[in-house]
């Protein structure tokens, strides 16, 4: 074929794509190559030392609060700032509350066709609502927000206290111990069990959880392209995805073994945990419950609870103590308030409203930590408008929680850690709508009540018992997050914990 004819064909094809996009009135964004997508942006993400949410935040300064990019033919809509996020997933929740549908589902999930769980369920309908209602009720029945769960958290804080005391003033890493605390609480709720912190099986479960939440999440090329093409874009991401697939399989095997064990020892007169509540519903639940509360859905829900209820909470606590050693004046003010209001007894969850400055500090930890900086991706379940743009059906929506937390239009000096921003002139705690660590709308985090309780109890009781400082005076650990992680986790650091009298 004549070369000039080929060039004309390519030119006409590219122009037609360009005009088609213009006619669709999509949000602005980086240049797109037909069938391949925004390869310039993908290369920038791969080569940049910054995390994806930071790159997207910079791009928003160029394109605006709503902008668009493509991976292959799949459009991604990035939402920046609280106002547009609220418009999309609160005011227009019916249009933007789906979840992405990717073809490469983890192997354990394929064993249960039709089972979608809650966290990543692509649908936003009666089945999802019934499953979410049942799960929330089961968690409340078992004690989330009640004394029984508080006692579990308190027991883990006491165990963590013994571990820290064993350091005897030497530097130690708090991160793995915080993960032990949070994981044991979740395991107690779901399976009615706890592990000793040095149990090898416990370490394996922790490692599997960490691996499952690694990688680029919904913006990975492995979600859109066949594997051999995805490798051309990012070979490292392909390696991570292989590890994730193996971890999903092993995690699935572990969960199923626990469910099978419960089935063999189930006693409806002695409900031990979340799995038993599910088994009871199979025997005595309503017809609607038995229709939606299936083995597959319970398997998926337990997966959701592990991922949403452990990784995010201990990551927030990790940021909390990192900020305390970087901001000793804040730590001192928190300790003084606890001493003045509570005294020497252990802090209870009922004390929460009495500790104004502590609450302001936790709010600032949420704002700066940005544990899930790009939220869990949403999907447009129908064609809709957002702002002045047309959003096509099945577009993936990325609400940037990071942008809402770091928006200079909403926050004064957003890069500075300052709990006083949440206090009024008369030192009363004041709510800020732009602080949305658990997201907003119908898809708000399922584990929020439990997470808030754990964060408050662990943070306050450890500050009451110890003063935390850097491993070496004058050498503050970095605020850089770990690479290749979906959640925003601090890089590893050590600290010194000195007992308080």
pLDDT in tens, 346-355: 999 999 999 9
Q: pTM surpassing 0.85?
A: yes
Which of 136-150, 189-203, 274-288 has the largest mean confidence? 189-203
- pLDDT tens per residue, range 159-204: 999 999 999 999 999 999 999 999 999 999 899 999 999 999 999 9
137-140 own/partner pairs: CB under 8 Å, 24+ apart: 138/274, 138/277, 138/278, 139/189, 139/274, 139/449, 139/450
Neighbours of 218 (CB within 10 A): 25
pLDDT in tens, 380-417: 999 999 999 999 999 999 999 999 999 999 999 999 99
DSSP assignments along 192-235, one per residue: S----TT-HHHHHHHHHHHHHTBS-GGG-GGGTS-HHHHHHH-H
Least Cα distance to 358 among 437, 462, 445 occurs for 462
pLDDT surpassing 80 at residue 229: no
**At 472, phi and psi to the nearest 5?**
-130, 130
pLDDT band for position 20 (cuts 50, 70, 90):
very low
Residue 9 has pLDDT above 70, yes or no: no
- Give how far Cα 15 sits from Cα of 10, 22, 40, Å: 9, 11, 19
Structural domains in the chain? 25-499 (1.10.630.10)
The mean per-residue pLDDT over the stretch 441-464 comes to: 94
- Least reliable range by pLDDT among 23-37, 169-183, 229-243, 319-333: 229-243
The pLDDT score that the predictor gives to residue 23 is: 47
278-290 core/surface letters (b: 16 or more CB in 10 A; e: else): bbebeeebeeebe
* Whether the predicted pLDDT of 369 surpasses 90: yes
Q: What are phi and psi of 181, to 5 degrees?
A: -60, -55
- What is the spatial distance between Cα 317 and Cα 321, in angstroms, rounded to a whole number? 6
Parallel/antiparallel/unpaired status of strands 495-499 and 466-470: antiparallel
pLDDT digits (tens, 9 = 90+) for 293-321: 888 888 888 888 877 778 889 999 999 99
């Amino acid at each position: 074929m004549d070369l000039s004819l080929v060039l004309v064909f390519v030119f006409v094809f590219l122009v037609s794509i360009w005009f088609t996009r213009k006619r669709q009135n999509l949000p602005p964004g980086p240049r797109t190559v037909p069938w391949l997508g925004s390869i310039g942006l993908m290369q920038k993400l791969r080569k940049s030392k910054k995390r994806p949410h930071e790159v997207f935040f910079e791009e928003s300064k160029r394109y605006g609060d709503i902008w668009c990019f493509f991976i292959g033919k799949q459009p991604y809509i990035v939402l920046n700032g609280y106002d547009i996020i609220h418009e999309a997933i609160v005011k227009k929740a019916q249009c933007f509350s789906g979840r992405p549908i990717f073809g490469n589902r983890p192997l354990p999930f394929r064993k249960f066709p039709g089972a979608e769980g809650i966290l990543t369920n692509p649908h936003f309908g009666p089945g999802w609502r019934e499953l979410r209602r049942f799960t929330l009720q089961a968690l409340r029945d078992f004690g989330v927000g009640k004394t029984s769960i508080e006692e579990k958290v308190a027991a883990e804080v006491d165990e963590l206290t013994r571990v820290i005391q064993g350091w005897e003033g030497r530097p130690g890493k708090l991160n793995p111990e915080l993960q032990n605390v949070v994981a044991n609480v979740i395991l107690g709720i779901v399976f009615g069990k706890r592990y000793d912190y040095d149990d090898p099986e416990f370490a394996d479960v922790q490692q599997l959880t960490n691996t499952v939440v690694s990688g680029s999440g919904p913006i990975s090329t492995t979600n859109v392209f066949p594997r051999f093409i995805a490798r051309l874009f990012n070979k490292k991401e392909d390696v991570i995805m292989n590890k994730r697939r193996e971890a999903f399989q092993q995690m699935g095997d572990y969960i199923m073994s626990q469910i099978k064990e419960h089935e063999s020892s189930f006693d409806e007169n002695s409900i031990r945990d979340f799995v038993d509540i599910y088994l009871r519903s199979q025997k005595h639940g309503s017809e609607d419950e038995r229709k939606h509360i299936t083995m597959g859905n319970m398997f998926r829900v337990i997966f959701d609870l592990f991922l949403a209820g452990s990784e995010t909470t201990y990551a927030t606590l990790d940021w909390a103590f990192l900020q305390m050693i970087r901001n000793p004046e804040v730590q001192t003010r928190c300790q003084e308030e606890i001493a003045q209001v509570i005294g020497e007894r252990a802090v209870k969850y009922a004390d929460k409203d009495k500790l104004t400055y502590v609450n302001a500090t936790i709010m600032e930890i949420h704002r700066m930590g940005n544990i899930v900086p790009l939220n869990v991706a949403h999907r447009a379940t129908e064609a809709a408008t957002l702002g002045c743009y047309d959003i096509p059906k099945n577009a993936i929506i990325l609400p940037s929680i990071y942008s809402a937390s770091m928006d200079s239009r909403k926050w004064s000096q957003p890069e500075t850690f300052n709990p006083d921003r949440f206090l009024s002139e008369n030192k009363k705690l004041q709510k800020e709508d732009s602080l949305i660590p658990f997201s907003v709308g119908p898809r708000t985090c399922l584990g929020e009540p439990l997470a808030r309780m754990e964060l408050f109890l662990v943070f306050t009781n450890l500050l009451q018992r110890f003063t935390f400082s850097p491993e070496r005076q004058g050498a503050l650990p970095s605020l850089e997050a770990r690479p290749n992680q979906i959640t925003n986790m601090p890089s590893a650091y050590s600290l010194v914990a000195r007992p308080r009298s």
